[in-house]
Structure 1
Amino acid sequence: MMIGLKRPMRLALAMLAYVLPNLLPVSTAAADGREDSKHRVMQKNAELLLRVGSTIVPTTQLETYKEGPTEGRWTWIEAESGRARGWAKADELVRLDEAVPFFSGEIHASPADPLLHIKRAKAYEALGKPDQALQDYDEAVRLDPSHAWAYNWRGLFHRARKEYDAAIDDHSRAVAVEPGRPASYLDRALCYLDRGRFDDAIADLEACLRLRPDDAQAYDRLGWAFYSKGQADRAVEYCSKAIQLQPDFEDAYVDRGIAWFAEGEYDKTIADETEALRLSPEDPFAFNARGWALSAKHEYDRAIQDFDRAIERNPRFARAYTNRGIARAGRKDFDGALRDLDRSIAIAPDRPRAHLNRGIVHLIKGEVTRAGADFDRAIELAPNDRWLRYNKLIATLMTDPAAACDNAARLLGEVGPRDELGVYTAILGYLGARKSGRKDDAARFIEMGEKLAGGRAWQGHLVDYLKDRADERGLLAAADGPAQQTQARLMIGLKKSLSSRREDGLEDLRWVRDHGLSTDALYPLAVQELRRLGLAEAQARPTRPDA
């Protein structure tokens, strides 16, 4: 069973810091941002000085902030984007509900100043008035068409509205008028990442780094691009470079943790996400990623706690619901898993992985028709994803072995020699052929499985057992970890159930049902086989919580 994780891409704020003597009494509650905010505010000027401890940080990002407590002429503010917080001078801020008239007055005094239109556009955006915002962005571009920054601001507006083609067009214009401006390449790269154009994103990020070699955000996004291309080792390399340049870069720890997961380094994922949470204790993405790794280590109760925290901080975090549902399935709480997966799909109905995982849970519960509908919807959303069709193949094997045999042959025509999915597809085709009495096809499938197994030791053990070259004791001895133990017991039980003495496999199938890894994609086959034999007298009970 696959766990969805991909997180939204967040801009990291790059700021220049100056260390100054401590000028303010530090309120612990204010410094931690724990007091209730009073108003939403914006900065009046192009640059805002934020005081954080004994450091003054100037930022030119036009942000919307939540206002907190005051200390004399200073006010504590936190950017709604989460990218900045600190003390600011109160007279350098304007309340959001007063921002439009304030900037309109500034524009009346200096109508040819494009930055004032950008500021008012940002106010309109924050107030939920995109049409008025776009008018001001357009006016800023008209007033200053020869500089990149106006195009970039309008591009960021389009990207926030998921109008990626318009955003790419604006950032491309920015690159054309100022090819030496690194931020334009970075902003366009983010749009390319959103669109799944990873090679274009990589080219822009490399261009940004040629112009600005110490840009930690560019290295982090470069890592994410390579991760998205399936090159997790390079993702680790570039995210590590980002952390080297900016040791408190929380996003880079989150991203490197995700890349470590793809490398199977679950403990390193947990370490990186824990560090991210030390830097940003409220980040739902870090909780989700750490829970993902804990779930992969079968520490389901701890994983559920992290998913709970992610959902508390973002109640519409669809992927966290999906992942919590998978963790509940791991505990064999299938009803709870369905509730979470239903919620995930209600929030984000076009995510194929949620439909896939709900389909798997339906299979386990014996709801084959519902499972098929979920698999069909997942395949409709991602027609080139072979993993989805593999899981549909499992469902077909449970209801129509002859059709499963034919479908396995088609799927095998698409997998390459290095694709691990090929061996399991061949095994499913073999089982379908055996169940439907097609002995010659069964022999061809198992020969193909042997060829595809190559140097994969575990898959080779499975094929050897099905070919009678190894006995069940040898297969069980070779099984390392819960997933392989589950698959070994399943193959033993299914092979025996195909013999004349079907009851011989009951003990192994019951073991899979009650003790096996229920997040393994093959797990439903054991439960269904027991049902077919009329012996699924009790569904597996939830596992006991971790001690």
Structure 2
Amino acid sequence: MNYRPSIVAGLVAAILASQPLLPQAAQIELVRPGFPSNQVSGASPAQGEVDEGLKALHADDLKAAEAAFTQAARIDPKYSPAYIGLAEIAGRKNDVALVESWLQKAIAADPSSAYAQLVLGHFQFRRGQFVNAEATFKKAIALDGQSAYAQISLAENYLRGLKNPSLAEEAFRAAIALDASSVPAHLGLAATLAVLNRFDAAVAEYEQAAMLAPTDPIPTHSLARFYASQAKIDQALAALKRSNAIAPDFLPAYIDRGDLYLAKNDLDGAAAAYGAGAKASNKPAIAYFKLGVVLAGQQRWAEAEQAYLAAVKNDPLMYGAYNNLAFMAAARKEHLDEALGWAKKAIELAPEVTTLLDTLGWVHYARGELEPAAKTLEKAVADNPKNASFRYHLGVVYFEQGKKREAALMLKKALELDKNFKNAPDAKKLLQQISPK
């Protein structure tokens, strides 16, 4: 029989997204330009402590940051950045209730702070409280009518939260009226126009954002994803190449290029894109992983193995690469000691991903360990009862154990679930061998 590796990622991973890339909603984040001096009026005797808190946050020293912000609040109880700092710390500790408590204290301390309202609004947005966020962003705008950032925040809430693109367009245009050079505002407006099916206008806004930020790859990357969402693959690829010309180390553009080449069934182009991304990026694990997927699909086994090994070297937590290494080795009946270790490592890293059990079972089978293979594959099938390939693997093991009746039942069920799954021809041949007509 011809056993081929089961590739976790799949070979057609096109980025034909339903929506183009939108500007990311702001997090509760203190370390952004101008915080807090241009967000509040007047100096505070607590400014020094807030600055120390920011330095500690940069160093990820939460204990020191908390002490500094707490001292700032003691020195000046009306200085809202001190409480926002404490909210940031609570957020990093995943204490949602405490985040909201500190933000409410920030607003109570300085009701005139538009920035405190904005931070609260973004917190509400991230919590899915879109109606509350709308009201909070409007308060921020009322307090600071010249803030393009506040208008962008309101617009994002309309577009991504309340799903009202007409109001989003209005708010994005208000932001541009306040700051015509705002790249996030133009990107947001472009995404909104795309949702409104005004495609030419959307392209114009993406291009405007790119013109305003000639050294930033994000606008052209966003344009590429918009083209991809319209199935304009060649235009998307051209825009992605522009992104990499701007920033040769910008990995997302290489990844998307590879995915789009796959959509065109151009495996060589995909491998070249992923390989270039792996060389260019300082965090190349995902590029190596995807390169491994393509190389395995081309049956370039040795090169695929090296790509997967490079992936786990750069990201030791990448369980998919360990899984693919193990399955590929089992299918070829090579490196079976390493394969067992790889399969177990994948499960150790992601015990909740029950599909990994199939790989471990197949490794046991390749090693001639039929009893553990059967037990492992039985659990894989129990956890994934509609997976035809898993049932096929278990049927093969049953056959090797001499359990022909159980094997036939498992193989028939696999074909009932999917008569065209990858190993369907092998399943039919084995069934014919068990019960020749």
TM-score (norm 1): 0.48
The answer to whether structure 1 residue 428 and structure 2 residue 427 are counterparts is yes
The answer to whether structure 1 residue 182 and structure 2 residue 181 are counterparts is no
Matched letter for residue 94 of structure 1: K
Maintained 8 Å contact 1:316/1:347:
yes
The answer to whether structure 1 residue 140 and structure 2 residue 103 are counterparts is yes
Structure with the bigger percentage of strand: 1
* CA RMSD in angstroms, aligned pairs only: 4.8
Which deviations, in whole Å up to 9, do the C-alpha atoms of 1:234-293 show, x marking residues without a partner?
596796487367444422422442454466433222222133234423321112212222
What are the equivalent positions in structure 2 for 1:25-424 lying under 5 Å apart?
Answer: 46-47=32-33, 94-96=55-57, 97=61, 98-107=64-73, 109=76, 111=78, 113=80, 117-126=83-92, 129-131=93-95, 134-140=97-103, 143=107, 150-153=120-123, 156=126, 167=127, 169-170=128-129, 174=133, 181-182=155-156, 209-210=194-195, 214=206, 234=231, 240=237, 243=240, 246-247=243-244, 248=247, 249-258=250-259, 260-261=261-262, 264-329=265-330, 330=332, 332-399=334-401, 400-415=403-418, 420-421=420-421, 424=423
Maintained 8 Å contact 2:391/2:413:
no
Note closer, same or farther for the CA distance 1:275–1:154 as it changes in structure 2 (3 Å cut).
farther
User: Offset of 1:363 from its aligned partner?
Assistant: 1.8
**Take 1:334 and 1:138, find their aligned partners in 2: how far apart are those partners?**
55
Maintained 8 Å contact 2:392/2:410:
no
**Take 2:220 and 2:162, find their aligned partners in 1: how far apart are those partners?**
16
Matched letter for residue 68 of structure 2: F
Unaligned 5+ runs, structure 1? 16-41, 50-59, 61-89, 157-166, 190-204, 227-232, 440-547
Report the secondary structure of 1:337's partner residue: helix
User: Offset of 1:206 from its aligned partner?
Assistant: 6.5
Mean alpha-carbon deviation: is it higher for 300-309 or for 144-153? 144-153
Matched letter for residue 272 of structure 1: A
**Take 1:240 and 1:149, find their aligned partners in 2: how far apart are those partners?**
37
**Take 2:357 and 2:235, find their aligned partners in 1: how far apart are those partners?**
33
Maintained 8 Å contact 1:270/1:290:
yes
User: Offset of 1:379 from its aligned partner?
Assistant: 3.1
Report the secondary structure of 2:55's partner residue: strand
Which deviations, in whole Å up to 9, do the C-alpha atoms of 1:405-448 show, x marking residues without a partner?
33344343343xxx6318x53652453244235x2xxxxxxxxx
Maintained 8 Å contact 1:412/1:426:
no
**Take 2:285 and 2:263, find their aligned partners in 1: how far apart are those partners?**
20
Maintained 8 Å contact 1:402/1:432:
no
User: Offset of 1:317 from its aligned partner?
Assistant: 1.9
What are the equivalent positions in structure 2 for 1:370-519 lying under 5 Å apart?
Answer: 370-399=372-401, 400-415=403-418, 420-421=420-421, 424-425=423-424, 428-429=427-428, 431-437=430-436, 439=437
Report the secondary structure of 1:352's partner residue: coil
**Take 1:175 and 1:275, find their aligned partners in 2: how far apart are those partners?**
43
Unaligned 5+ runs, structure 2? 16-20, 40-50, 108-113, 138-152, 164-189, 197-201, 207-218
**Take 1:138 and 1:239, find their aligned partners in 2: how far apart are those partners?**
45
Maintained 8 Å contact 2:125/2:133:
no
User: Offset of 1:341 from its aligned partner?
Assistant: 0.9
Note closer, same or farther for the CA distance 1:314–1:216 as it changes in structure 2 (3 Å cut).
same
User: Offset of 1:122 from its aligned partner?
Assistant: 3.0
Structure with the bigger percentage of helix: 2
Which deviations, in whole Å up to 9, do the C-alpha atoms of 1:444-502 show, x marking residues without a partner?
xxxxxxxxxxxxxxxxxxxxxxxxxxxxxxxxxxxxxxxxxxxxxxxxxxxxxxxxxxx
**Take 1:155 and 1:93, find their aligned partners in 2: how far apart are those partners?**
24
